[in-house]
Structure 1
Amino acid sequence: MRKVSLEQKPRYISLPKHHDRVEIPRISPLHDSDTLTRDNWRNKETISHVNFSMSSDEMGENSVLNQCESPLMLRTGSMMPGITLDGEVFQLSKTEIFDAIIHILSCSALDNPNYLTIIKDSPNGTLQFILHFIEKKSCEQIYKERAVLLKCLYSSNMCSEKQKSNDVHMINLTGTLSTTWETCLDNEPSLYCAYECELCGSYITLLPVLTVDTNLILRKGFEALNEGLHFYHYLTKVKCQQEGCPEMCTVTAYPNFHICIYLDVRRNDRSHTKIQCKLQNFPKTLELKSLPGQYRLQGIVSESSDRTVAYCLRAEDHWELYDGYSMIVETFDSSGVINPCGAIYIRT
């Protein structure tokens, strides 16, 4: 969770539409997580203003789309040639986790009209990219737009290399599902935590992803995800997140319209390997403690030794495998064994 401070002249933000309006001073970060930098945050603040338009000359370069490929599949960045933006060449690598998130949320928007309406109203650059992806499918302009977006989000991860007498800007998205969600959906976290402090007043911190009780999951499996989820709607006697404040606060947690659950569950032995499971082991609905309504399972992000893929649960209740290396959407049996690193649920 980011540490935050109130601005000198507080502005106000609203919690997601499915909650009653609660006006709380807007916050700005003091410290990012150890995988993010202040430069990244500055770029994320302006990401909703990224211009995705491309010139006709740029659109004509680097043609890679195969007509046999699925129109709603993003090819992983390391399999793409460099993308030319404003006369400079950018090469993307390690985009698999970002692409998996895009695939799951795109399928969610296609299957759930309410979610589509919600993301249309969001200023988040990644969600706006999803709208363009749904509209334009997998095409040259979409790959350009992905490069524009990631150039802004990961500017601090960029380095230049000399290739065939040209400078190529390398953008590496190395990270976990948690850090990727935090970077790309910074203002659309899984949870808004509203603090009430006698000294500092009211403020909000953003929790990008939810976590689980790993010992419980190891004992009972992912079938117990509801029970093992670290979520409490209301807490008392929580230490204030403001730097140097000794007070204890009350905290009210408000889940967003989508929640991402980070599943880094490893065995308690020498191997320390992540546990495997079947897709059918995951509960298809979640009921968050003390809150009405349900969240429907939309997809699982899975990691193996050589790649990260997305399994999307479609409205017809079947699973689809999205692998940016194969570029063909495959139907996947729910009894198939996977290596989950995260689950994404959408409010119904």
Structure 2
Amino acid sequence: MIREVAEVARVEDAALTRAAQAGEIAALGLLLERHRAGMRAVALSILGPGADADDVMQDAALTALRRIGDVRDPGAVGAWLRMIVRNASRSLLRNAVATRPVDDLQLPSTAAGPEQWLEQNAMRDWVWEALEELSPVLRMPVVLRHFTTGVTAYEQIARACGVPVGTVRSRLSQGRAKLAAALAATADAPHANVEERVRASRIEARETLDAAESGHFGKLLTERWSPEVALLRGNDRVGGRDVLVRAMDNDIEDGVRQSLVHAVAGRSLSIWEMDIINPAFDPEHCPPSVAWLMTLDDAGRVHRLRLFHPRPVQVLESLPVVESVM
């Protein structure tokens, strides 16, 4: 009898999973409700009761939304959901930056990062349409947390946005709640093609780096970025176009190069994650990576830029600001 009940549950899970993979949000909601108790039990067993367990449950729901298309065995979706919670809980404990699927569920590789999840997920355009409904102060933490590869820990998001960790937690909680409402409100709305937008953003990033290396960074900024562009550190303005050009020119002259690793692109913000290649004679000239966090104006031009180093190195206090912003 127990085996028969389990088989019925497996068949029902499989049907709901396939429906969710086809874009039926109601089916995904039913799956989360069916397995909520088991998911929460996993979170509580690792984290104990409290805000962290609640955060992990919210994270797991968004992860399921993004990655339901990855499930190869629809009947085993319950184990997949619990593993998402387990990974997220353990990551929170060790302050890691991202959850990863496990091999024993035979999920496809996510080595290409969150962008691949979006491109494979039939609901990706809908998710991004809903993200655009969030306010800028909520949108940035949610996008960093769930769609970048290297700026996802609470402490990193706090440093990037120039706010306390507690504020990040609060904004993520509000953002996820509002995102759920926005998803329902935009279900039938036309959705832009995110894959095309990301592809265009990648091209723009490479053209920007090429312009810098050829000495035309300033020209490109004049042609493509807002004339009121501001460089921010946290919430503080540290300069404009001249500071950006001077800093980039200094880095190029010193032999520093950047290589695009990952791009996130929406109507109102873009993020370029770069590896930094330092010259052999000065391997610690700059930190090993940098994220360009760009807020766009109504014309799609970069209006505000934050340059965030996920893994900073010790920088000499004597260095002027313009030589360390990149």
Pairwise TM-score range, normalised by the shorter structure: under 0.3
What TM-score do you get using the length of structure 2 for normalisation? 0.27
